Amino acid sequence: MRESLSARMGIVAFLAILTVSAGTMLWLLWRFPVMTAIVTLAVLAALGVLAKLARLIDVDMKDLDRTEQRI
C-alpha cells in the first residue's frame, strides 16, 4: 500500500511540475512572444551544439579496457 501511494505521489508531483512548466512557457510566449522565441531558439541551438560535442568526445569502452591489451 505504501509503495503504491509513493508511486502515485511521484506521478502527481511530475504532472504538477509539467503543468506549471507548460503554463509558464505559455504565459511567457503570450506576454513576450519575440523574446521567448529568441531565447527558446538559443537554448535549442546550445543543446544541439552540446550534443555534437558529446558525440565527438565519446570514447568506446573497449578502448578503455586495459585487461585485453598484450605487450
Q: Which pLDDT tens digit goes with each residue over 1-53?
A: 567 888 899 999 999 999 999 999 999 999 999 999 999 999 999 999 999 99
Distance separating alpha carbons of residues 56 and 46, to the nearest angstrom: 15
Distance separating alpha carbons of residues 65 and 61, to the nearest angstrom: 7
Domain housing 8: 2-62
Q: Is residue 8 part of a domain?
A: yes
Number of separate domains in the chain: 1
Q: Is residue 48 part of a domain?
A: yes
Query: What pTM value is reported for the model?
Result: 0.58
Q: Is residue 51 part of a domain?
A: yes
State the pLDDT at residue 60.
67
Q: Is residue 67 part of a domain?
A: no
DSSP 32: S
Q: Is residue 52 part of a domain?
A: yes
